[in-house]
Chains A and B, each alone.
Chain A
Amino acid sequence: MSKYLDEQKENIKRVNKLVDDLSQADDLREKLKTTREKYNRLLERYEKLDKVFQFHKGIVQNLSSGIITTDMKGHITFLNKSALQLLAYTDKDILGKPMEYLFADSEQAARIYKRVFEQQDMYESKEINLKDARGALIPIGFSTTLFRHGSTQEGVVFIFRDIREQINFRRQMGRMDRLATLGELAAGLAHEIRNPLAGIKTSSEVLLESLSPGDFRTEFIKRIIQEIDRSNGLLQRFFNFAKPSRPKPGFHNLVNIVDSVFVLLRSRLLKRNIEFERTFEQDAVHIYIDEYQFEQVLLNLFLNAMDAMPDGGIIRMHACLEPAYTFEGREEKGAVVIRVEDNGHGIPPEKIENIFLPFYTTKSDGVGLGLSICTRLMDENSGKLEVQSKLGEGTVFSLYLPYVKNIQQES
């Protein structure tokens, strides 16, 4: 009996436990439900946050400005796409490295470090040079801001922009200014010199008329007048150089233009033992330009090339059609490109910046106007002039002319 009772008791206990478990299962189910709801809400919030994060990330990554962040010790913690592209780095090359690694000038870097990381001061539109992965200088304008979490400084944000184009523009404006001054100077000079010339000429002419025919002195006076006219001619040329007349463009055959310049130089080329080689691509033969002004440009470039090769050498001229090209970092439309190349002594890098400036010359007998006039004439003819040079190897001048399709050119 007791066994039977024990069994019954056990059964009742089991049933009770079962009932208990069942009631707990309800609790658990309830708990599970709440947890799932919480989880779903979290997931939803996470997705929202992720969206916001991706949105901001997209903005930061796609900004045309470069962004670099560092910790408070100056170690790089992030670079956006523009920064990586401009500096030609990949994330793994540069993350964690000190920011000063990117500055071209270490003294300047030290000053910036002191101000930003020690004094926690900011920069606004400061211009400096960075160094890219290949060691090339990249001029930039940058600003900094500190970013903080709560009350602690977390790091520094460097926002910067490539200012190469701006610098080129400024340089061009500088050139234009100097050219404008040159124009004024030439005008003033012409005025001042022509007055005394007119005085001498008129006096000479009056004197000449007062002499009787056959007087031996007439010959001398005539020579004085001739020399005055010659001086005036030179003055007129200088005046035209400084303030060229408006171009009268037309369709011309480049081969003919080059030939006419070559004829002028042939004897000098021979004397100096300089070969002249020229090649023209079929499409690049017809150009739209003021032919006399373009002759002047070519003549200047050939004369410079000759001066760069005192011991002889070769001038190569090649004309081709380039569908699209890069000029001073900018993409330009198609052009006829004429390259004048010499294998002379080349231009030292520190001087190359100045060669287009008026009155800049390295020649003892030069005036320093040749290339500035070339630039000006090319500008007037909607063209461009570019130079590349390697010391000891030679120099290439590239003339870019707008490619103008001419229906009549074939006729």
Chain B
Amino acid sequence: MARRLLIVDDEETIRFSLCQSFIIAKKDYEVAMAASGEEALERMTEKPYDLIITDIFMPGISGLDLLQMVKEKYPETEVIVITAYGSDDKKDEAARLGARYYVEKPFEIKEIRQKVFDLLG
């Protein structure tokens, strides 16, 4: 069964390019996108995802709030946090809330992809 990956970012280019990078990797992944935390939660209720890559600063529900909600409701779902506003505090908080990785923007696509492969196989 295809592993399910959800990319959550209010930046359309990042969503789109990340999504494409997994498509060209020719892995058996089902990749979806959400432009906000709210949309991500809605998609999760339809069918939970195995992995979420989420930005932190988004209008509405922040990535860290989303991380917390997802971990409470779907503890099996892994989360990678990406952010353009890196700080040690945010990094610590993400780890405390259960994020597997914390990556600062702009990142190397290979780096993110490798992490996803490690988590989803």
Contact = CB atoms under 8 A, between A and B. Distances in A.
Given A191-B57, A202-B18, A206-B24, A196 B13 contact: yes
B11 A194 contact: no
A140 B18 CA distance: 64
B20 interface: yes
Nearest to B15: A199
A86 interface: no
Contact of B106 (A191, A202, A206): A202
A201 B84 contact: no
A152 interface: no
Contacts of A196: 11, 13
Given A197-B106, A209-B24, A228-B106, A190 B85 contact: yes
8 contacts: A193-B84, A195-B84, A198-B11, A200-B13, A202-B14, A205-B17, A209-B109, A232-B106
A191 B13 contact: no
A232 B105 CA distance: 9
A229 B106 CA distance: 8
B20 A194 contact: no
A352 B107 CA distance: 43
Contact of A201 (B16, B57, B85, B106): B106
Given A187-B85, A194-B106, A199 B24 contact: no
A193 B12 CA distance: 14
B114 interface: no
Contacts of B108: 205
Nearest to A231: B106
A191 B110 CA distance: 22
Given A191-B85, A198-B107, A206 B20 contact: yes
B24 A198 contact: no
A205 B14 contact: no
A210 B104 CA distance: 24
A203 B24 CA distance: 12
- Report, nearest first, the 8 A-B pairs whose CB atoms are least far apart: A199-B13, A194-B84, A198-B105, A202-B17, A198-B106, A205-B109, A191-B85, A203-B17
A408 B80 CA distance: 47
Given A195-B105, A198-B107, A209-B24, A203 B13 contact: yes
A8 to B, nearest CB: 130
A interface, over-half SS:
helix
Interface of B: 11-14, 16-18, 20-21, 24, 57, 82, 84-85, 104-110
A232 B12 CA distance: 20
A187 B83 CA distance: 12
B77 to A, nearest CB: 23
Contact of A195 (B11, B17, B21, B24): B11
Contact of B109 (A190, A195, A202): A202
Interface residues of A, number: 22
Interface string A183-225: 0000100111111111111110110011000000000000000
A180 to B, nearest CB: 16
Contacts of A202: 13-14, 17-18, 21, 106-107, 109
Nearest to B55: A195
A209 B105 contact: no
Contacts of B109: 201-202, 205-206, 209
B33 to A, nearest CB: 13
B93 to A, nearest CB: 16
Contacts of A190: 84-85
Nearest to B105: A198
Given A198-B106, A228-B106, A209 B84 contact: no
Nearest to B19: A206
A392 B51 CA distance: 67
Given A198-B11, A210-B24, 11 more contacts: A192-B84, A194-B104, A195-B105, A196-B13, A197-B106, A198-B84, A200-B13, A202-B106, A205-B17, A205-B108, A206-B21
Contacts of A197: 105-106
Interface in A117-152: none
A260 to B, nearest CB: 28
A190 B105 CA distance: 10
B21 A209 contact: yes
Interface string A158-197: 0000000000000000000000000000010011111111
B21 A198 contact: no
Contacts of B85: 187, 190-191, 194
A345 B65 CA distance: 56
A34 to B, nearest CB: 91
Contacts of A199: 11-14, 17
A189 B102 CA distance: 21
